[in-house]
Structure 1
Amino acid sequence: MNYLVTIWDAGGSVPPELALVRKLTERGHRVVVLAGPPLQRAVEAAGATFRPWQDVPHRRRPEDEDPFSDTRLSAPQRIVGMLLDRVIAGPSAAYSREVGAALDEYGSDALVSSMLMLGGMVAAEARGVPVGVMVPNCYLMPARGMPPFGTPWRPARTPLGRTRDALIHGMTTRMWDRGLARLNTTRADLGLPPLTHVFDQHSRAARVLVMTSPAFDFPAELPDNVRYVGPQLDDPVWVDPVEPPPGDQPLVLVGMSSTFMDQADLLRRVVAALDALPVRGLVTTGPEIDPAEVPGSSRVRVVRAAPHREILPSCAAVVSHGGHGTVIKAAAAGVPQLVIPLGRDQPNNAARIVAAGTGLRLKPTAKPAAIAAALHRLLDEPSFTQRARHLAGRITADAHSTTALTELEGLAHPAGDHTRT
């Protein structure tokens, strides 16, 4: 079968999305990936054909300024506005043209799209090409029973809590719908009826693939086309093997983000906390932070990157910002976690860790003493490790399932049959 996959350079969402690409190519399918040039090596390592974006916003070189950076945007409405202007609505016509041209050129049987690239989904819908939407985290769209995006809340259990969640969901939907007119113009240009809400475009997809474990996510009433397909645990291609500091003291792995979230000061506070404990630390700064900005010590090694999936089985605890990729890998390894959210979906992931009893959460302003105290609890109280190991079995089983492939192969017409329905 022929698949067209669209990906944007959004840090932690890239490895799980490319994991699906790799699995498709290993099954013998032809996969073309539309992505920015900095992702070319990773795309080709997954066995796919790389096709660069031309007109839609993207980084042409790794050192270029990230057009999707939200570091300086503290207010939620400003972050939503940036995503509407640069990914979802503003360039939706450009996405539609580029994705449509690629679908026609390659005779694609299905489009597999990153969740925010709605303009490309419009092009596929207009051609009758089935669409699979990749959601490389927990399900965070408004849904009955699901806490609102960006909050550290657990599912509401009282009428007051449910009313609160409904109000926040409504406010969030109205913020996203500021891009509705622009998206509907793109749809109208291709002869498609208007949507009522921006993310109703997901409802037009054949499948929405949630790339986590239902054992980790909160239960909710989800749309009929949503499927949990298990976490995709591949590490990025740009990581190299590293050795942790020598010794037999417990090893703590630290990772804050593969994108810039102004995390250098927090990393320095975590290093100070590790230095106050009888542990070894391996701190990964990510590609956007120079390790020289975060001095280590004899027991704390600071590197730009490391293969987290390989190191985690040897770890006694993990400290992270709460990005889904780091959190779900640590959960699959059965390692207790200290989560210090910096934004985006990270408070949601922290809430799931705390609710499962597998870790703790601190504010990003936490001092070294507070970080050290939380780590001491994780290492000293066996209940955290016991619960983490129990949850790990269920997450690992989902990670090893073939559900994602089954769903994607169910989307596409057999190769050579390009009948549009």
Structure 2
Amino acid sequence: MRARPADVLVAEHMLLGALTGGEAAGIPVASLVTSLYPLPTPGAPPPGPGLAPATGALGRLRDRVLAQLIVKPWGKGLPALNAARVANGLAPVDSVIGAFDRVDRLLVLSPRALDYPGRRFPAYVRHVGPRLDDPAWAGELELPAGDAPLALVGLSSSFMDQRAVLERIAEALGTLPVRGLLTTGPAVDPASVRAPGNVLVTAAAPHSIALRHAAVTITHAGHGTAVKSLAAGVPLVCVPLGRDQREVARHVQFAGAGITVSKSSSTRTIARAVDRVLNDPSYRREAQRLAAEIAAETATDRAVTELEALAERATDKDEGAAIRG
């Protein structure tokens, strides 16, 4: 920043080195969260395990204990973090988790409606809505033939040992009166996935367009696929594979917009879950409710508005300093 001065620093929220550099430069700092808000807060279970919200005193005790256990490992990084802070002319902090608070804005690129209604966030947190763009490699849309309900299938775009799960999903769709569009992503060769005749297997497709035709999405509950489906009013069957996916799946289920099955589920179990979501109108109704809230949240670009406000504040501060000088 000394070489290329800036009015605002924007960085992914985990990059404490970058956030420390912005603080040391004395400019406004915004961090970005590209999934659900990932730190413990009042009014919600600790994020990570995919727990349901607490009910009663025992549930609240569970949350307090687990929150302490979840943040404890971060303490190992405190000496290195404070060494970097002191080297850049900043005072040390008491905890690594506390360092995430040292921003002017934390922008959550996720729908507020997908989070728990009773959750209370720090004052600097802003939900600015999701990014719904398709990746550049999504290609053109090809739909399977026929007019049966369309089931869109997409597991992780990175490798999570998902080929066997994809095959079980495809086999499950083969037992139902549906069309399946199964996208493997870059991590799996579509030719390696066996599928029945009513399931089209392809490396990629623009999900935002495919979802206009879909009746259900079967997904690993990655934040991007889940939120795109909800933004289109399409309910989900979630098959979490790891990472933050159990947490996303729990929020989808809590919102009433889908159900979750294990990644080790049998073909029959997956088929029953898909059939349930297709034939119980409550799932589509709740997905459409979330779609309306996401549409309102993304009608304007709140992230840009927040960043422009920070830049204006920095400019006003510089002008004030110049006048005083």
* Corresponding residue for residue 171 of structure 2: 272
> How many Å apart are 1:192 and its aligned residue?
1.0
Q: Report if aligned partners of 1:335, 1:388 keep a CA contact under 8 Å in 2.
A: yes
* Corresponding residue for residue 101 of structure 2: 203
1:107 aligns with 2:9: no
* Corresponding residue for residue 155 of structure 1: 53
Secondary structure of the corresponding residue to residue 400 of structure 1: coil
Query: Which of 283, 288, 294 is the equivalent residue of 1:395?
Result: 294
Q: Quote the Cα distance in structure 2 between the aligned partners of 1:384 and 1:158.
A: 27
Query: Which of 47, 53, 66 is the equivalent residue of 1:168?
Result: 66
Please provide the CA RMSD for this pair.
1.8
> How many Å apart are 1:417 and its aligned residue?
7.8
Q: Report if aligned partners of 2:252, 2:259 keep a CA contact under 8 Å in 1.
A: yes
Query: Which of 117, 129, 147 is the equivalent residue of 2:27?
Result: 129
Q: Which amino acid aligns with 2:24?
A: A
1:375 aligns with 2:274: yes
* Corresponding residue for residue 202 of structure 2: 303
Q: Quote the Cα distance in structure 2 between the aligned partners of 1:260 and 1:176.
A: 27
Secondary structure of the corresponding residue to residue 106 of structure 2: strand
Q: Quote the Cα distance in structure 1 between the aligned partners of 2:158 and 2:45.
A: 25
1:259 aligns with 2:158: yes
Whose radius of gyration is greater, 1 or 2?
A: 2
Q: Report if aligned partners of 1:245, 1:298 keep a CA contact under 8 Å in 2.
A: no
Q: Quote the Cα distance in structure 2 between the aligned partners of 1:370 and 1:408.
A: 46
Distance 1:401 1:147, change over 3 A: farther
Q: Which amino acid aligns with 1:122?
A: T
Q: Report if aligned partners of 1:230, 1:401 keep a CA contact under 8 Å in 2.
A: no
Q: Report if aligned partners of 1:109, 1:418 keep a CA contact under 8 Å in 2.
A: no
> How many Å apart are 1:190 and its aligned residue?
0.7
Identity of aligned residues (%): 42
Q: Report if aligned partners of 2:28, 2:314 keep a CA contact under 8 Å in 1.
A: no
Query: Which of 386, 390, 397 is the equivalent residue of 2:285?
Result: 386
**Mapping 1:4-153, distance limit 5 Å:** 103-153=1-51
* Corresponding residue for residue 281 of structure 1: 180
1:234 aligns with 2:133: yes
In the comparison of the two structures, how many residue pairs are matched? Answer: 319
> How many Å apart are 1:260 and its aligned residue?
1.4
> How many Å apart are 1:391 and its aligned residue?
2.2
1:182 aligns with 2:80: yes
Deviations 1:235-281 (A, max 9, x none): 11121012111110110001111221111111111111111111111
Q: Quote the Cα distance in structure 1 between the aligned partners of 2:78 and 2:161.
A: 32
Q: Report if aligned partners of 1:256, 1:285 keep a CA contact under 8 Å in 2.
A: yes
Q: Report if aligned partners of 2:233, 2:288 keep a CA contact under 8 Å in 1.
A: yes
> How many Å apart are 1:151 and its aligned residue?
1.9
> How many Å apart are 1:354 and its aligned residue?
1.1
Q: Quote the Cα distance in structure 2 between the aligned partners of 1:382 and 1:367.
A: 24
Return the TM-score normalized by structure 2.
0.93
Deviations 1:163-203 (A, max 9, x none): 11111110111112211111111111111111222132221
Secondary structure of the corresponding residue to residue 302 of structure 1: strand
Q: Quote the Cα distance in structure 2 between the aligned partners of 1:414 and 1:216.
A: 31
Q: Report if aligned partners of 1:109, 1:130 keep a CA contact under 8 Å in 2.
A: yes
Deviations 1:344-402 (A, max 9, x none): 21111111111111111001110111000100111111221122212211122112233
**Mapping 1:355-366, distance limit 5 Å:** 355-366=254-265
Q: Report if aligned partners of 1:107, 1:418 keep a CA contact under 8 Å in 2.
A: no
Q: Quote the Cα distance in structure 2 between the aligned partners of 1:223 and 1:387.
A: 28
Residue ranges of structure 2 left out of the alignment (5+ in a row): none
* Corresponding residue for residue 313 of structure 1: 212
Return the TM-score normalized by structure 1.
0.73
> How many Å apart are 1:335 and its aligned residue?
0.7
Distance 1:164 1:415, change over 3 A: closer
Deviations 1:97-125 (A, max 9, x none): xxxxxx23332111111111110111111
**Mapping 1:402-421, distance limit 5 Å:** 402-413=301-312, 419=318
Q: Report if aligned partners of 1:111, 1:131 keep a CA contact under 8 Å in 2.
A: yes
